[in-house]
Structure 1
Amino acid sequence: MDRSRLTRRKCKGSMTKHLRRIEAVLLIVGLLLTSIFVAAYIHRATMSRRALTQFRELKRERTVDKPALSLAGRQFTFDFSLWSPKRVAEYEQSLTEKFDSPLGILHVAKVHLEVPVLDGVDDLSLNRGVGYIPGTSRPGEPGNVGIAGHRDGFFRVLKDVGPGDMIELETLDRIDIYRVSQIVIVDKDDPSVLKATSGPTLTLVTCYPFYFIGSAPKRYIVLASRVASGHPAAADQTQSTKSARFAPVIEDANPQSQKSTKEKTQ
């Protein structure tokens, strides 16, 4: 009996030591995985600010003799919660590539979107930000400015944008404010939404449906008309709202844009 009890105690003690070792190993593995995740998150957040920082630095150089836009306290972070895992991975891969300074920054306050506008709609540009559509008016110029973005990336939030919402397009020399007039859905090969316009307009383009598996057959179009434009406000000027970040020089009267209702056409 004594021997069997002693044997059981030894087995129990050995098992306890074994379990403690397993717990220690699991704890170490957990700490390592957490460290890797935190390091990756910090790297992604840091790299995501580079294009916007580069734009701000170039803007300061261009506005030495002009009042500078105050950027104090502004944080630039991207919300990846709505993105597809594939798009997040491709965005992270794009961070290893070198880019020219953005043409501007697109702001959509309602959906907390603030993203650099890059020159072109190649895959690399659309993974890193949103892209200026060649052949349309360039940001800051008169006419119809076309900007494209991925439906499973930066432009997925457009599903929550509607008529009456405000959009800002910030370039080195000015800030243009647009009001969304309507939402339309067109075939992927329909170029009509990008045609030249007599007035200053903005057209945002992304694939549709937003959660379609495979190559999306439609295009989701946000049409907006400019309602105001101005130069950046002085850096030391106290601003109470984001829409007051500039000194307006143009007020575009467009009663029709205020009466527009949300339209979706198949």
Structure 2
Amino acid sequence: MSHLAIEEVRASQAASSEAASTTGKITEIPTPDFSLWSPARVTQFKSALAQHGALAVGILRVPKEHIEAPIFEGTDDLTLNKGVGHIAGTDAIGGGGNTGIAGHRDGFFRGLKDIKVGDKVEIETSSKPLVYVVERVVIVDPQDVSVLQERGRPELTLVTCYPFYVLGSAPKRFIVKAKFVQGDPGA
């Protein structure tokens, strides 16, 4: 990432830092590695931060795949242009059920293309770190929301479009299911 781009991200973070100190939101947003991103997605990321600020509810990390992304509430275009989004109707981050998080395949979630069963997924929140381990990876139709259903245990579901390198709309969804292994879900 260029020095100018880093300064743009930091300026946006600084502007929202004071408000975040009273809300418990995370303001230290990681600087993205744009090496796998499409040029259009990089432009949209910078624009979204400038318009909408950078108050995140957490940071999602997949160390083996070099993914580090701020988590925001919602999955609208503006939100997914600046990070990944907590899917409405799924359990809260750190809750005891199925937490769904969506991201763009040509941005923050491009690295999911290489994820494997057994890889760790970490979520940092203002109150606690959480660790999950990937149990399975599946490809489904966009209408198949069964992957987001509760299964009576803490788990994480990552959702992005598939295939990763296709022009236009992607016809499928790439799903990563991970079980909770460390932290304090639901506390």
TM-score range, shorter chain: 0.7 to 0.9
Task: Supply the distance in 2 between the matched residues of 1:41 and 1:100 (Cα, whole angstroms).
Answer: 19
Aligned twin of 2:7: 46
**Pairwise mapping of residues 99-114 of structure 1 onto structure 2 (< 5 A)?**
99=53, 101-114=55-68
* CA positional deviation for 1:77: 2.6
Structure 2 Cα separation of the partners of residues 61 and 75 of structure 1: 16
- C-alpha displacement at 1:145, in angstroms? 0.4
Paired residue secondary structure (1:46): helix
Partner of residue 106 from structure 2, selected from 146, 152, 159? 152
The TM-score with structure 2 as length reference comes to 0.86
**Aligned 8 A contact 2:29 2:54 in 1:** no
| CA–CA separation in structure 1 for the residues paired with 2:178 and 2:21 | 25
Q: Determine the C-alpha separation between the residues in 2 that align with 1:76 and 1:94.
A: 15
The partner residue of 1:90 within 27, 44, 55 is: 44
Q: CA deviation at 1:59?
A: 7.0
Which ranges of structure 2 fall in alignment gaps of 5 or more residues?
Answer: none
Contact 2:80 2:103 in 1 (8 A): yes
Q: 1:59 to 1:109 in 2, by over 3 A?
A: farther
> Structure 1 residues 51, 222: CA separation in 2 closer, same or farther (over 3 Å shift)?
farther
- The amino acid of 2:109's aligned partner reads F
Give the 3 Å change call, closer, same or farther, for CA 52–197 of structure 1 in structure 2: farther
Write the distance in 2 (CA, Å) between the matches of 1:177 and 1:205: 18
The 5-angstrom pairing of residues 30-45 of structure 1 reads 41-45=2-6
Tell me, in whole angstroms, the C-alpha distance in 2 between the residues paired with 1:209 and 1:83. 14
**Amino acid across the alignment from 2:170:** A
Equivalent in the alignment of 2:76 = 122
Aligned partner of 1:228 in structure 2 is 182
Which letter maps to 2:114? D
The correspondence for 1:216, drawn from 157, 162, 170, is: 170
* Alignment deviations for residues 171-205 of structure 1 (CA, whole Å, 9 cap, x no partner): 11111100000100000111111111200000000
After TM superposition, the runs of 4+ consecutive aligned structure 1 residues lying more than 4 A away are: 49-55, 57-62
Quickly say closer, same or farther: Cα 1:53–1:114, change in 2 above 3 A. farther
Residues of 1 paired with 2:62 and 2:9: CA distance?
Answer: 18
Tell me which of the two structures has the higher relative contact order, counting C-alpha pairs closer than 8 angstroms and 6 or more residues apart. Answer: 2
Task: Tell me the CA shift for residue 214 of structure 1.
Answer: 1.2
Percent of paired sites with the same residue: 47
Query: Corresponding residue for 2:157?
Result: 203
Deviation, 1:99, is 3.1
What's the counterpart of residue 141 of structure 1? 95
| TM-score (normalizing by structure 1) | 0.62
